[in-house]
Amino acid sequence: MPCPGTLPSQHEDRSVSKNTVSSQLEPDLLRGLPLHEALSAWGHHWRNDVTPMSYALSRPTNTFDGFLSHDWASSGWLKFLSLLIIFNSGAAFWSCLVVSVLVGILRGYGCLPDEHWTVAFGHFIYFFVFFFWQRLQMPCRHSRMMFLDKVCVAQHDDELKHKAIMGLAAFLLNSQELIVLLSSRYFTRLWCVFEIATFMKDPERRKRIRLMPLKSTVLLLLVSGCWYLLNIGFNTTKLVFWDYNSSETESSFVFETVAAIVSMFIFCFVLLPVAFYVGMEMSEDMEVMPQQLRNFRVQDAKCLCCSIDHRDPITGARLPCDREVLYATMKEWYGGDAAGGSRCKSHSVDS
């Protein structure tokens, strides 16, 4: 959704005369952010306030590989990690698999010592590719061009900002994919609803909406962390309890018994309850979302301008109403408030 979410106050008269969001935009204002920049500095764009230099990171483009749709109240860290999962986890998996197989072959032929520390190569390459794949692939292919509102919309210039916000549909309609970083708050924000509605009005575009619940990111990372801790505990137990002076059978018995008991105890009584707790919390959020869609009414969605009584909190200047502009646009597309809301709701619930 546009940041900070309201049309500039100095353009109030213009917003009244042009009361719908345009699908056309001046070419110079159609700007995207390369994926490696969107993920740079451990996702600082998602956690920090915008600066005048942020807009300079964006580049003019004709099309976008993805439109990043989200609400700004959700965790920036979770959004950053969610994008890493979406774009980098596949490459990380295959890299880890190839390196692990190669290490196994080299150990088998005696080119590497047959020691447990050699498995660290696979773990290292996985995390290295997971965090840096967006940069590693740059010499071989162009960086994916994304739309991130507070960087691609000129926050430092009210006139440019007004034009970009009023042309938000142009960004959406020139995007190959809508990537929704989903939270329980997402469908309560009017700008987020508008972004979904823009893609939903075209049957072909509906197939290119990708939903990534932020809570699922937490669960995936937690489950992965559980298995890593289990592996560490298992190998630590092996090192501590292996008796090299006893017979092979006795050593195997001691190792297998103690390692299994200690590792399973840690996993079952310490890690699993935490994973289950977060999993149940995520499930509750996911259960709320279909209910939100079934009971969805555009009129219930909130926007910042209405919550601050259409007054700039700093200057006190009157702000135009985003709601009027978005309602008029969706009415033009869907033939009425109720029709548009019902149609979006129907397709979303079915999906």
List, for residues 263-318, the tens digit of each pLDDT value. 677 777 877 787 778 777 777 767 777 777 777 777 888 888 888 888 888 888 88
Do 26 and 163 form a contact (C-beta atoms < 8 A)?
yes
pLDDT digits (tens, 9 = 90+) for 82-101: 999 999 999 999 999 999 99
- Residue from 48, 31, 5, 72 nearest 326 by CA: 5
Maximal C-alpha separation, the chain: 89
Residues 6+ apart with CB under 8 A from 187: 193, 289, 292, 293, 296, 301
Categorize the per-residue pLDDT at 228 as very low, low, confident or very high, splitting at 50, 70 and 90: confident
Q: What is the DSSP letter of 62?
A: S
Distances (CA, A) of 47 to 38, 79, 150, 182: 11, 9, 11, 17
Task: In whole angstroms, give the CA distance from residue 34 to residue 279.
Answer: 33
Backbone φ and ψ for 146, nearest 5 degrees, come out as -115, 160
pTM of the predicted model as reported, rounded to 2 decimal places? 0.84
